[in-house]
Structure 1
Amino acid sequence: MPQEAPPTANPFILAADDPNALLALLNDNPSLATDQDSHGYSLVHAAASYNHLDLLRQLIHQFSVPVDLRDEDGETALFVVETLDAAKVLVEELDLDPKITNDEGQTAREKIESEGEFPDVARYLASLETTRTIENGNGNGHTNEAAVTGMTTDLPGGIQIRMGTMEEAEAEGLEPDPEFRRRIEELAARDDFQTPEGQAELRRLVEEAVLGQGGVVGEERNVRPRQE
């Protein structure tokens, strides 16, 4: 028999302590799925914070709760995650935009970094928000595309840098080289990524992707931010 939740159960407590009982409660009262407490804290926030990933998925898919619900500070569930798995489910499975900012203008990555907790989550979010799509026109009518992370230095001519996430690049039909993508993601996850040494390594990877096997790049350089 399905588990029944007590009639007076607090859904937010169940979201933290007993997700199965919460689902039983929601099946009886689906309208509770979008409830928020007096501070705007939602069941989506609770499920993400306590790493109840199946509950999180069902709230979005079965009960149609908006994944980008915000609390009184303008923060989505991504601001309260404590595990890498929860962050990936929100962003990669449930399509929560990691660029959303709270009322203080911080992204989830910026807030998590400022609090000095969950560095693996902060590094993951940093790798998403600093991803770049490099388009290299080689003068032969062929364009090489590669998704790279954190490109901040000047590159050889004939290059267009279009800002966007790895997911955006794939949605537009671009197919980054899997090996290059793997190397970039490994570099972005390193503790020294933002140091001069890490950025120098990034430049070497980008130049390798741009120049390829001694390929020729065009004479004109066009480096432009993507227009939103």
Structure 2
Amino acid sequence: MATGTTGTLPAPTIDLLLNLIDTRPNSILASLSQHPQLASASDAHGYSLVHAAVSYNQLPVLRELVQKYNVDVDKLDEDGETPLFAAELASVARTLVEEFGADWRVRNIEGKTAEEKIAEEEGEAHEVYLYLRSLRDGGQSANGGGAEGAANLAQLETAGVHPPPPLPDGVKINVGTMEEDAVGDAPDPELRRRIEELAAREDFQTEEVQQQLRELVTEVVSGIGSEQSERSVRRRVD
């Protein structure tokens, strides 16, 4: 007669838990209660559960890792990057910095901060970049800096309002007043339409579109547009 045997299930590995964090976060919490040493473990690339929790926006897992298991919120992977570098949402970045005291000034092995890397890879319209910039500016960013700027950004996100994309390099807008007689003629409607069209494009951050916008802004400022309204218009890219 066959006999069955019962045995202890093998202990989970850090690689297994990393693969589960996106779809089964509760399983991770249950595993950690039995194998707490995995809370601070890293895979072969230095990637840890706290990095993964930030990347996949798993705040309950993140809080348990930090508060219950005392995992270092500035834990480094093989690229010298803390979990903050993996943040996709400003709300998660705020939790790291304001709730757990993560250091947003840390530089990776390439010498870049999380703010600089996100700007380079995702663009300066990315919500995490805007939040980190507000910390660096200390109150001087477009949305306010420090805790006030973070609160303002949070309110915008909750309302579904996203900050406008940044201006191209070398372009600045100065707000002021001027006499009515000094205003001059209205901008060429065609140039205005083209600028608005470029600003609404999904590929606004690409170098090609940025260059087109710089050229159009230059035309508006210099008055070339109104003087050369008959010039040919660059073909729009759909």
TM range (shorter): 0.5 to 0.7
Tell me which residue corresponds to 2:133. Answer: 126
Tell me which residue corresponds to 1:93. Answer: 99
The number of equivalent residue pairs is 155
More helix by percentage: 2
1:32 pairs, out of 31, 34, 38, with: 38
Tell me which residue corresponds to 2:28. Answer: 22
Tell me which residue corresponds to 2:69. Answer: 63
More strand by percentage: 1
Task: Note closer, same or farther for the CA distance 1:42–1:182 as it changes in structure 2 (3 Å cut).
Answer: closer
Residue 196 in structure 1 maps to residue 172 in structure 2: yes
How big is the shift at 1:190?
4.5
Q: Answer 1 or 2: higher relative contact order, Cα 8 Å, separation at least 6.
A: 1
Note the aligned Cα RMSD (angstroms).
3.2
Q: Deviations over 1:105-156 (max 9, x none)?
A: 101111111112671111111111121xxxxxxxxxxxxxxx4448xxxxxx
Asked whether the 8 Å contact 2:12–2:31 carries over to 1, the reply is no
Identity of matched residues, % = 39
Return the TM-score normalized by structure 2: 0.56
The secondary structure found in structure 1 opposite 2:22 is helix
Q: Which moved more, 1:41-50 or 1:84-93?
A: 84-93
Cα distance in 1, alignment partners of residues 87 and 121 from structure 2 = 13
Cα distance in 1, alignment partners of residues 53 and 34 from structure 2 = 19
Cα distance in 2, alignment partners of residues 89 and 74 from structure 1 = 21
Task: Note closer, same or farther for the CA distance 1:182–1:81 as it changes in structure 2 (3 Å cut).
Answer: closer
Cα distance in 2, alignment partners of residues 61 and 124 from structure 1 = 24
What is the one-letter code of the residue matched to 1:96? A
What is the one-letter code of the residue matched to 1:20? N
Task: Note closer, same or farther for the CA distance 1:25–1:149 as it changes in structure 2 (3 Å cut).
Answer: same
Return the TM-score normalized by structure 1: 0.59
Q: Deviations over 1:21-40 (max 9, x none)?
A: 10111111111100000100
The secondary structure found in structure 1 opposite 2:116 is helix
How big is the shift at 1:19?
1.1
Q: Deviations over 1:182-221 (max 9, x none)?
A: 59x98xx543378521xx46x9xxxxxxxxxxxxxxxxxx
Q: Which moved more, 1:48-57 or 1:77-86?
A: 77-86
Cα distance in 1, alignment partners of residues 126 and 70 from structure 2 = 31
Asked whether the 8 Å contact 2:134–2:140 carries over to 1, the reply is no
